[in-house]
Amino acid sequence: MIIAKPQKPSLIKRVKRDWQLLLILLPGLIFYIIFRYGPMYGMIISFKDYSVYKGIINSPWVGLKHFKRFFGNPDFFRLFRNTFMLGMTTLIFSFPFPIIFAVLLNEIRNIKFKKVVQTASYVPSFLSIVIISSMIIDFLSPGHGIINQIIAALGFEKIYFMIRPEWFRTVYVASEVWSGMGFNAILFIAAIAGIDPQLYEAAELDGCGRIKKMWYITVPSILPTIATLFILKSGSVFRIGFEKVLLLYNPATYEVADVFATYVYRQGLVDMNYSYAAAVGLFESVVALAMLLIANTLSKKLSEQSIW
């Protein structure tokens, strides 16, 4: 007896059947087309001497002129070093904290206290970068900042954090950990919620304590989520948003705080060197893509977890 294979519905029938889901997808698709893929057309000005009067099409081609200018610029190695160091230290310190926070939060048995802690951790995520930066400057103020008040109360000399180059990365990374820990922990909390409770019950019968259950059940169960997010975060090592750096740095900290993004801002919007700034931004994007590919390859070889 031959059983006929069920015919796959045509594209039109599937669209009619799932039109509600497609309608939900439509706003996100339009957003990415307009604000992510559409602006990619403008990257060609990095290979031209762009003039606002001639437009993108009529501006003359100059090839790799702006890239050669950037690579020969004495600021290149300083910018590369600062961007890499700031991005890497942010990744190293800010990535593990949401994982630790989510695992420890899962061990709290008092539901009310758990909700209070979780809600408090989310609050900084709803504040704008401007407010966060203003709070940091205010907290670290040598005159009335709470941090320096504590330092003075302990008998030490006050520290001018914001004009000391050696403190900039510490301040930046610490603020990233504080402001993003609660929000970044949401995915890990969701992954932990999906773990089969029977695994914990079986572990308790075998005499496992909380530490062992966390180490042998919770962490291995969320490892795919950890690997995926680590790969995505690795791609952003060179994609440091310029807003917070721009708000926190000053001429005294340029040597360690100036990164690709702030350099592009100054060259493109302040000095109006549009083609040169586009070339620097394109180079930054290519390096970020390379970091993403390297992280994905290493993760696939070491943990067999990857995005593709």
What domains sit in the chain, N to C, each tagged with a CATH number? 68-127+162-303 (1.10.3720.10)
Structure confidence at residue 3 (pLDDT): 56
State the alpha helices, DSSP H only, in the chain.
11-17, 19-32, 55-58, 65-71, 75-94, 96-106, 111-122, 129-139, 146-153, 165-193, 197-205, 210-213, 219-221, 223-234, 242-248, 254-257, 260-265, 274-303
Q: What is the token pair recorded at 261?
A: 């993004």
Consecutive 10-residue runs of the chain (308 residues): their mean pLDDT?
Answer: 64 83 90 87 90 88 92 91 91 90 88 88 87 91 89 89 90 90 88 88 84 88 87 81 86 89 90 91 88 81 70
Give the whole-angstrom CA distance, residue 49 versus residue 64: 11
The candidate with the shortest Cα–Cα distance to 260, out of 276, 274, 240, 236, is 240
- Size of the chain in residues: 308
pTM beyond 0.85, yes or no:
no
Q: What is the token pair recorded at 119?
A: 């809600």
Structure confidence at residue 201 (pLDDT): 85
Contacts of 68 (CB under 8 A, 6+ apart): none
Residue with tokens 């203003």: 134
Q: What CA–CA distances, in Å, run from 71 to 10, 37, 74, 77?
A: 53, 27, 8, 8
